[in-house]
Amino acid sequence: MRRSIEPSEVAMDPGSGPFLLPAEYAAVRDAVRRLAEERIAPRAAEIDRTGEFPWDVHDVLARSGFHAPRIPEQYGGSGADALATAVIIEEIARVCAASSLIPAVNTLGTLPLLLAGAHELCARYLPLVAKGDAMFSYALSEPEAGSDAAAMTTRAVRDGEWWVLDGVKRWISNAGESRFYTVFAVTDPDAGTHGISAFVVEADDPGLSFGPKERKLGIRGSPTREMSFAGCRIPEWRIIGAPGDGFSLAMRTLDHTRVTIAAQAVGIAQGALDAAVGYTSRREQFGQPVAEFQGVRFTLADMAMRIEAARALTYVAAAHSERGNGDLGYFGAAAKCFASDVAMAVTTDAVQLFGGYGYTQDYPVERMMRDAKITQIYEGTNQIQRVVIGREVLRRAASGSSGPVR
């Protein structure tokens, strides 16, 4: 799946015909959907209930090559492009959002290496992830540096052939389960955003410790922990890119991976719609299936329209990600923001359509609603995404540009 996506395959002009995924992507969708329905869906409720990381699901995905799809073939991966990765995450999230974070977090953690890492660094770590022997997480946020990532205080000080890290990272997905971490730290406190660098840290490095799992509303099967560094010494060759390039690398990475969160949100929404259609078609009130009532059909119609719009925007953003377009920041933010808002609205509607049953754990829609909420928050809150989108709209207006952003 290494072929770049042509614009005509993703975004079609009005009136030019229906959007269709190329056959190779449809085949990926079919394969992931079968696996998800057979091996992941039966586990979803238990994963949510126990809050334990689903290593059995990880192993199933690893055997199929869906656990870390973006790792190139030269490092032992499947070499999936951005659109194929979005399809994979969407289909897993359709049945279990927590499980969809296995490929999503591996993508987030490894992408800085693919964007800026030396070949030797990539060759040391990426094959282990590709084989399923390790996972890779991303450590950017801190207790006082969430949306304002540049305010981070974690330090990395050069000591001969070593870097010594001190500080705290918070809200780290799969922390304590992943073997490797991309960690951002200040290496020159006088240089602002140009004084931040990125490093690979291993879970067993002396001086690194993990806090307890956060008690979360949703995605409970993806543990979130704090990471603390106290004199954590790592060799100098584990720096990703050049010193001072870390902040720009972090932002470039998020431009790409916000597409995966959009895909996750689309999958959650689709799962909720599927459940709502099935339930309202079976449930009878006043002598007929609930789905026969016009008000219910209108709700289902609105849900379906929103999902299709979110999916189309997500796939367009994936095409921009694959090509590395300069407007990826806009499209990544727009897809993530819109799709996650859709996921929250659709899952809330699904709970309503289930009535009292929707509020119980006997049905999956309450879990889907809880899972959907985080898509509006992580990898940049939707308020931040709107700042990014609005800034680009005003920039284009100031430059004399008009019409749609392409």
Strands (E), 38-146: 136-139
Q: Which of 261, 380, 395, 382 is nearest to 326 (CA)?
A: 395
Label residues 8-29 b or e (16+ Cβ within 10 Å = b).
ebbbeeeeeeeeebeeebeebb
8 A C-beta contact, residue 161 and residue 133: no
Coil, strand or helix at 400: coil
Indicate if the alpha-carbon torsion angle 115, 121, 123, 127 is positive or negative: negative
Q: State how far the Cα of 35 lies from the Cα of 210, in Å rounded to an integer.
A: 32
- The residues, ordered by sequence, that sit 6+ positions from 406 with a Cβ below 8 Å of its Cβ are 327
Catalytic residue among 161, 177, 379, 392: 379
Interatomic CA distance for residues 307 and 310, integer angstroms: 5
Q: Which is nearest to 300 in space by CA: 266, 277, 271, 269?
A: 277
Half-sphere exposure of 150 (CA within 13 A, CB side): 11
Could you tell me if 239 and 199 are in contact, meaning their C-beta atoms sit under 8 angstroms apart? Answer: yes
Q: How many residues does the chain have?
A: 406
52 included as an active-site residue: no
Q: Which residues are catalytic?
A: 379
